[in-house]
Chains A and B, each alone.
Chain A
């Protein structure tokens, strides 16, 4: 379990990836929660029976065919470990739970970070769930190179000098 030494998942430790066809249909929940911890709000929030968990300590498994991309689970996940992934018209989209100031705005350019906090490119915010609608956890959808959707796991707002808004 090298993720417990490093603090991030390596490629071979990631959960099974949804197929490209599935990603092109509609957005899908991708849960990076490999460890047995006593936690189950995602399971309880899912109205489509798409999340499986044997018991409260078992890591969740998503049935990508049942998942409708409704985003109930990402709203409640206390580990901020759920990411909504989507590919549309050749562009990749990742939705991230975000709890920092300043709140991102639609249309803003942001720096994309991978699981280690390294800069991997730039993206554009295409949708924001206002933080007040979800007890101060905002959801931010970022448009990016489709190759990056399994890498980008955080965003940083570029300082105003670097051309933010």
Chain B
């Protein structure tokens, strides 16, 4: 399942190690996450849903969903897609008996749910009280995730208080750009990311970027990640904290945990939130079956860790992510059965569609997925045509054989920190969901808290970099760094971004932005 050669990426695997999955030894390489190493070993069931014990597999691969939670070295509920393998690691599936792959409690889904359908516990076994209490206790025993830790924390936990000019949360294209542009004009920047590397989701973008040459168009995303990370390393006034999770913003004070060991209390003058987005799923029968993956999750697995997601995939959604993923799967030697798109036309750039169409991949517009077929993992999918009222046309069902399905229907902003920080939020469908009200430099209604990138509205990496530059520059300028040149540069980037969004692909974004952008100074 591991790729050994690839036209674009060279996979450098670390030392071989042995990890234990439910007691069974598995070969892995340093630098791989637990989830990817297990996947490479052919393990597809990672957990069980906590009520009906349905099998759950890999989905997002970037720590945003819960389907890969396992017990690692005695500690429950570890996101195995975010933890790297170490020799001798003991990994156990939880919330199942005897293990997630062959869970005896799956009877809850197949048999018991038929007798006591979903919701019946509100009506059944409610009387007498003794019975209710007994049943409640038993049912709770089945539900929930994991058992209490069997190990207490060992090692040195510490605490650090940091004063800085600008705290940047998230080291993706937007966060890195904000850090660079603020630091270039003299601001001290603390850049935090939950990964042990910078780049965010750029690290899996093996394709060349669109945009203008001035914004690195024509360069592959993975190279842009490296260019930006290298520049950050050069800047002495940027302090990068890897594997650092920010958990809250309290009156301008940022709380974070570094490497699970150190509590950080950060007192910045300005904050840039660039936390990105997570993948959405789609409602259809069996959409939780292992083998139904987020498109970005598949990109991570394949382009970062060099692991094949399967042999034949179906792509749901023809936006740029779906189209690019199709091409990338083919580059890794994986067959793509088809792309389905509910809209009557292709959602992404035509040129991306043309690239895969000329290699023979069918694109079914006005079609959607009706169900995933398979018992413990995806064996096929059923797609159906939609009429002009978005209703399935009876008799148009078609079975497509595939062993994995990629959901590429869009993203939602990772907005939680902004909400918690007290920013005024609005639900704007054009921007992908809940986004903060901000001025044209990205400052939210909470003074000193800026947003940039997908968390400000789902767009793409080129726009994210421009937003990052604007936020970084404005934050630094407001503190007192930079001169007229800096202000001129800020206005230039604002203008570039406006021009970038002028075409039909920017229309939706512009409409969305009008709903949440307020005048500067109000």
Contacts and interface: CB of A to CB of B under 8 A. Distances in A.
Interface of A: 1, 3-9, 32-41, 44-45, 55-57, 76-81, 99-101, 103, 113-118, 131, 135-137, 153-154, 156
Interface string B343-360: 011100111111111111
A1 B353 CA distance: 14
B477 to A, nearest CB: 26
Interface in B343-390: 344-346, 349-361, 363, 365
Contacts of B351: 32-33, 35, 37, 79-81
Interface residues of B, number: 46
Contacts, number: 144
7 contacts: A3-B350, A7-B357, A38-B502, A57-B499, A116-B357, A135-B219, A135-B220
Contact of B331 (A37, A55, A100): A100
A79 B356 CA distance: 11
B391 interface: no
A72 to B, nearest CB: 10
Contacts of A32: 351, 354
Contact of B365 (A5, A55, A114, A156): A5
Contact of B360 (A5, A76, A117): A117
Contacts of A116: 357-358, 360
B15 to A, nearest CB: 26
B501 interface: yes
A137 B503 contact: no
A118 B357 CA distance: 10
A149 to B, nearest CB: 15
B23 interface: no
B235 to A, nearest CB: 25
Contact of A39 (B217, B223, B361): B217
Given A45-B213, A76-B218, A79-B355, A38 B505 contact: yes
A153 B369 CA distance: 30
Contacts of B399: none
A135 B210 CA distance: 16
B352 A79 contact: yes
A135 B502 CA distance: 30
B211 A99 contact: no
B213 A44 contact: yes
Given A80-B351, A115-B357, A115-B358, A44 B212 contact: yes
B208 interface: yes
A28 B273 CA distance: 47
A3 B355 CA distance: 13
Contacts of B361: 117
B8 interface: yes
A116 B349 CA distance: 17
B357 A38 contact: no
B58 interface: no
B209 interface: yes
Given A35-B349, A38-B505, A57-B502, A113 B217 contact: no
Contacts of A9: 354
A49 to B, nearest CB: 15
A37 B357 contact: no
B5 interface: yes
Nearest to B213: A44
Contacts of A136: 7-8
B218 A113 contact: no
Given A5-B346, A114-B358, A131 B7 contact: yes
A7 B353 contact: yes
Contacts of B146: none
B506 interface: yes
Nearest to A79: B351
A37 B210 contact: yes
Given A1-B345, A153-B358, 18 more contacts: A4-B353, A5-B345, A7-B356, A9-B354, A35-B349, A35-B350, A37-B505, A38-B503, A56-B500, A57-B506, A77-B208, A101-B5, A101-B6, A103-B7, A115-B358, A117-B360, A118-B360, A135-B219
B500 A38 contact: yes
Max chain B Cβ within 10 angstroms of own Cβ: one of A3, A37, A55, A156: A37
A39 B210 contact: yes
Contacts of B501: 38
A113 B360 contact: yes
Interface in B174-231: 207-213, 217-220, 223
A74 B357 CA distance: 19
B212 A55 contact: no
Contacts of B220: 135
Nearest to B356: A7
B213 A117 contact: no
A96 to B, nearest CB: 10
B222 to A, nearest CB: 10
Contact of A7 (B333, B344, B363): B363
A57 B217 CA distance: 13
A135 B146 CA distance: 46
A5 B358 contact: no
Given A38-B500, A101-B5, A131-B7, A6 B357 contact: yes
